[in-house]
Amino acid sequence: MAAYFIASVTSHDDGWVSDYQANVPPMVARFGGELICRSTQFERFEGEGAAPHYTVIIRFPAMADVQAFMACPDYAPFKDARIAGATSDIFAIAD
């Protein structure tokens, strides 16, 4: 059963972004992840709150793959940099 990683990110310090974009996609691929969308275009139909700077959707083969990616020690420094430089809402849903 596929799982979809969904992140809405608002960056307040872009110092982490270039390193993240250069190194994280191969890690995502190691866990079977496939980038579905990374977009800055946003249209709200319901709800409130600020629009994110961008949203990312990644399809993984299963929820266990999302969990393994998020817990990967190789990802930890990039995750820490993202957390320090951005506000993110990240979750995954199973298909």
For 44-87, how does the pLDDT look when each residue is reduced to its tens digit (9 = 90+)?
899 988 888 999 999 999 999 999 999 999 999 999 999 999 99
Q: What is the CA angle 54-84-15, rounded to 5? A: 70
Dihedral pair phi/psi, residue 26, rounded to 5°: -65, -30
What pLDDT shows up at residue 43?
A: 86
Say how far apart CA 44 and CA 9 lie, in whole Å.
Answer: 15
pTM given for the model:
0.92
For 75, counting Cβ atoms within 10 Å of its Cβ (0-12 exposed, 13-18 middle, 19+ buried), the class is buried
